[in-house]
Amino acid sequence: MKSINNSSIVLNRHPQGKACVEDFRLVNQPVASLKPGEFLVENIWLSIDPYTRPRLNPNITYVEPIKLEHLIQGETVGRVIQSKSPKYQVGQLVFAFTGWQKYCVLNEHDFMVYVLPDTTLPESVFLGVAGTPGRAAYFGINKIAKPKPGETMVVSAATGAVGSVAGQLGKIAGCKVIGIAGTEEKCRYAVETLGFDSCLNYNCKGLAKALAQECPDGVDVYFENVGGRVSAIVARYLNQGARVPICGSAALYDEGQDVDGNTLSQFYSSLPNAPESRFFLVTEWFNEYIDSIEWLIKAVESGQLHYRETITQGLEQAPQAFIDLLESKHIGKQLVRV
């Protein structure tokens, strides 16, 4: 069989502050021949995620850092094009954690691989609204926030892949939902398409005053995605018994420090009226993945959940797509069509 040449993106150097294109490098090498139990996937979609940024730092400990010259990690959706496994057939679409590359040889015993369920939706949704971002919102809301009708919920990074779903789940639960985003366009999208009650631009002066006006009865749930200045402002308005699911701390990722969920947990725990807060990973509920995916798919198909994708063409453009994501130039889920 004709050999296949694989393209992949590796870490060229550790970023100093903000990541730049030169921190990455495109490499090419032949794909190894399949062994029994293995199958070859040609990636179609690559997920670009903010949690990759701290892994580019050499001194991080709460997750494994990516070493120099090693593949940048990431989730993908691809098609099986060769197989020596009875479990995976040529032509099947699969979700996998293959990284920033065109092709990947997988083993039938690999942990994070599954065949995509049937749906009329584009397969890209399994990296966004029905993928890890959607599940993060789903579990953060249902397992930690547990919103009640009539409560007030605030969501940071409100138009991102996670925040957009979290806010909509808050509305489904009967909450008043206020988003926080970085542009007027994003704020309009949150209100007009996602159904938020309002959305505040954190780049405008007077965020604290605007939040106080929108939340006259305080904040019962804060879905935390960013940390930093925004969190310090929201914290002023948290009610007694408030809940804060901590999904991310994007504002801190460029500092090069060992930033993990404890950084924000310690901040919230130090507040005089400390809310119930904790950092979480979607893998805590791995045994509920199937149920969560089914619910999210049905919610999108029925029109309960809306989503948007920002798509970049070509694997070689993945570094720029990643930088655009970190600079909040996207709306919804940032993807690369490989």
Residue 302 burial by Cβ neighbours in a 10 Å radius (0-12, 13-18, 19+)? exposed
**Contact by Cβ (8 Å): 318, 9:** yes
> What does the alpha-carbon distance between residue 314 and residue 337 come to, in Å, rounded to a whole number?
6
> What does the alpha-carbon distance between residue 210 and residue 257 come to, in Å, rounded to a whole number?
32
> What does the alpha-carbon distance between residue 209 and residue 213 come to, in Å, rounded to a whole number?
6
CA nearest to 221, candidates 197, 241, 201: 241
Q: What is the pTM of this model?
A: 0.93
What's the topology of domain 5-128+308-337? Quinone Oxidoreductase; Chain A, domain 1 (3.90.180)
SS3 of residue 28 by DSSP = strand
CA nearest to 179, candidates 334, 189, 308: 189
Domain with CATH 3.90.180.10 in the chain: 5-128+308-337
At 268, which amino acid appears?
A: Y
- The reported pLDDT for the residue numbered 3 is 80
> What does the alpha-carbon distance between residue 229 and residue 243 come to, in Å, rounded to a whole number?
19
At 7, which amino acid appears?
A: S
**Contact by Cβ (8 Å): 94, 80:** yes
> What does the alpha-carbon distance between residue 159 and residue 189 come to, in Å, rounded to a whole number?
8
**Tens-digit pLDDT string for the chain (338 aa):** 568 999 999 999 999 989 999 999 999 999 999 999 999 999 999 999 998 998 999 877 667 899 999 999 999 999 999 999 999 999 999 999 999 999 999 999 998 899 999 999 999 999 999 999 999 999 999 999 999 999 999 999 999 999 999 999 999 999 999 999 999 999 999 999 999 999 999 998 899 999 999 999 999 999 999 888 999 999 999 999 999 999 987 656 655 554 555 678 889 988 988 999 999 999 999 999 999 999 999 999 999 999 999 999 999 999 999 999 999 999 999 999 99
Residue 63 burial by Cβ neighbours in a 10 Å radius (0-12, 13-18, 19+)? middle
At 114, which amino acid appears?
A: Y
Within 10 angstroms of residue 161's Cβ, the number of other Cβ atoms is 33
Domain with CATH 3.40.50.720 in the chain: 132-283
> Could you say which architecture CATH assigns to the domain 132-283?
3-Layer(aba) Sandwich (3.40)
**Contact by Cβ (8 Å): 329, 323:** no
> What does the alpha-carbon distance between residue 198 and residue 203 come to, in Å, rounded to a whole number?
16
Angle at 116 between CA 114 and CA 120, to 5 degrees: 170
Angle at 100 between CA 94 and CA 104, to 5 degrees: 50
Is the Cα dihedral 227, 145, 204, 186 positive or negative?
A: positive
The secondary structure of 97-149, three-state, reads CCCCECEEEEECCCCCEEECCCCCCCHHHHHCCCCHHHHHHHHHHHHHHCCCC
- The reported pLDDT for the residue numbered 259 is 54
> What does the alpha-carbon distance between residue 299 and residue 283 come to, in Å, rounded to a whole number?
22
> What does the alpha-carbon distance between residue 332 and residue 326 come to, in Å, rounded to a whole number?
13
